[in-house]
Structure 1
């Protein structure tokens, strides 16, 4: 699949992005794929290429661009080395809901201006931290998101006013959430709360728990689970196929 690296101008600077597209002339519907807390890296370029094979123009942003020169994380030990774990959580804190929303508008503007991309509404998908971003964007920029997906996303039900379940009445997109089992960042109780909020708001949705650990869909994560990953690819094919024209 053709892949380019480019920059998107946002209110806070220049964000490096990767754009993967199918072979051929297009145009194709656009999707923003938000990486996990490890940030944009080769694994996500490969995942964007795989999603592009289904017929989408897929943008992966460097969500940490406000921290120029940040050093990539080694996902094999980022949670076991105290200094790296601390650095990771510091980086996560720099990506606020306001930043997510303003960046998303810039990404959507970029996609809409590309000749390879069709339509004025887009898909979002994300992993871990990116799964939360995907749903926050659906609530904060509702008129531009047709389908929002989250895989082993954390923080989807919290007391913070920006929590996705508290923004459910703003969401216009179809929502799909694939949680991980035994995940303290998105528990079975959280899943029930989110499902009830989406249902009460009249949002078309699916919320389910995969029989796999947090990180199951991302190949360089230690809990990667091939069967669960295949299931997540099938879900994206179905949801985006139904809601992105």
Structure 2
């Protein structure tokens, strides 16, 4: 499985990125994969390779590039409960500094770069994300309805907030099919209702699902939150979504 590291030009500098894609010399649908708050690291490389094996070109940018290239934060191979609080203390200021304006500028740059790759076929792409990456994927899909045909978010961060630019308030601009896979602690019941109301009002073809017995971060194999059954469910849901919208999988 070919992989490469790249530099994506943005209005605010160059974002380093990881990409994985099939080695058949053909062009394939593009997938923009937004990282979780722990950043671009081997577990995300492996997930990108897994997805590429199903026939996609997968681009994973370092969302924290404004704070430096990968690794922005030094991480252990395994993020257990003993080290999690210290890592959270380092990454949360960067999460909070990543404004909606930053997200929109980056989304334009990432999509332009992804769709110009010689390995990527013409046509719409998918935006997917984990943790903080889920609202970034939703923002991207809402801002680029003609370019994003599928959006997925797993153990999402703040999809529903009181902010004027909360991701759920942007859903009227979304035309992509969507799946949101929640842990049991990601959103309150009222927030889920609010999200679903926004999706319904926009006429979006979507599913929201709480994965039973899970905690936030359940897809990340290098953390204590990892849940193998939920991880497989996430692949089942994601590949079905991409197959319907991008024609692979």
Does residue 226 (structure 1) correspond to residue 228 (structure 2)? The answer is: yes
CA distance in 2, matches of 1:204, 1:180: 21
Greater mean deviation of Cα atoms: 160-169 or 58-67: 160-169
Does residue 80 (structure 1) correspond to residue 85 (structure 2)? The answer is: yes
Structure 2 match to 1:154:
157
Deviations 1:183-214 (A, max 9, x none): 1x422321121111101110111111001111
Structure 1 match to 2:73:
71
Deviations 1:107-150 (A, max 9, x none): 11112211110123210111100111111111122222110000
Kindly indicate whether the alpha-carbon contact (under 8 Å) linking 2:3 and 2:20 is maintained by their aligned counterparts in 1: yes
Give RMSD over aligned pairs. 1.4
Kindly indicate whether the alpha-carbon contact (under 8 Å) linking 2:32 and 2:114 is maintained by their aligned counterparts in 1: no
Deviations 1:142-184 (A, max 9, x none): 2221100000002111111221211111111111100001x1x
CA distance in 2, matches of 1:71, 1:195: 35
Structure 2 SS opposite 1:9: strand
Does residue 139 (structure 1) correspond to residue 153 (structure 2)? The answer is: no
Q: Runs of 4+ in structure 1 displaced over 2 angstroms?
A: 69-81, 140-143
Higher strand share: 1
Structure 2 match to 1:174:
177
Structure 2 regions of 5+ residues with no counterpart?
A: none
Structure 1 regions of 5+ residues with no counterpart?
A: none
Structure 2 SS opposite 1:91: helix
Greater mean deviation of Cα atoms: 234-243 or 63-72: 63-72
Q: 1:24 to 1:156 in 2, by over 3 A?
A: same
Does residue 127 (structure 1) correspond to residue 165 (structure 2)? The answer is: no
Kindly indicate whether the alpha-carbon contact (under 8 Å) linking 1:28 and 1:116 is maintained by their aligned counterparts in 2: yes
Does residue 106 (structure 1) correspond to residue 103 (structure 2)? The answer is: no
Structure 1 match to 2:196:
195
Kindly indicate whether the alpha-carbon contact (under 8 Å) linking 1:136 and 1:162 is maintained by their aligned counterparts in 2: no
Q: 1:102 to 1:188 in 2, by over 3 A?
A: same
Structure 1 SS opposite 2:103: helix
Residue from 81, 87, 100 that aligns with 1:97: 100
CA distance in 2, matches of 1:73, 1:161: 34
Provide TM-score, normalisation by structure 1.
Answer: 0.94
Structure 1 SS opposite 2:219: coil
Kindly indicate whether the alpha-carbon contact (under 8 Å) linking 2:73 and 2:90 is maintained by their aligned counterparts in 1: no
Structure 2 match to 1:46:
46
Structure 1 match to 2:2:
2
Residues matched between the structures, number = 241
CA distance in 1, matches of 2:198, 2:135: 15
CA distance in 2, matches of 1:51, 1:36: 16
What is the CA-CA distance between 1:78 and the residue it aligns to? 4.6
Structure 2 SS opposite 1:142: coil
CA distance in 2, matches of 1:26, 1:52: 12
